[in-house]
Amino acid sequence: MIDWADFEKVDMRVGRIVAVEDFPEARRPAWKLRIDFGSQIGEKRSSAQITNYTREELEGRLVVGVVNFQPRQIGPVRSEVLVLGAVADDHPVLLLFADAGSQPGDRIA
């Protein structure tokens, strides 16, 4: 169990995927993403094993990401944000999408 103060340390924001690039160097199939989190946070990069979505399905979509983790080096990609999704053994990652009306940078509470 964590307390409320621990939860408040996790900075989750709405971001708009602005670019989806191939990531052929990845050990498991993945995309390289550029995500706009609004003027306060700016654009961040991520790699994501979400190849059950096409490039066209992802570009322009509003997603939820954790923006205050330390960056991780994933092969040649410096991943700066964790894009959130539902994970289960019997299906691929299903992304958490923000509803229309949300704006890049909106805080998740």
Handedness of CA 96, 97, 98, 104 (dihedral sign): positive
pLDDT in tens, 63-103: 999 999 999 988 888 999 999 999 888 778 899 999 989 99
The model's pTM is 0.91
pLDDT in tens, 14-25: 999 999 998 888
Class of domain 4-95: mainly beta
Give every CB contact of residue 38 below 8 A, 6+ residues apart in sequence: 13, 15, 103, 104, 105, 106
What span, in angstroms and rounded, lies between the C-alpha atoms of 55 and 62?
A: 14
pLDDT at residue 49, as a whole number: 85
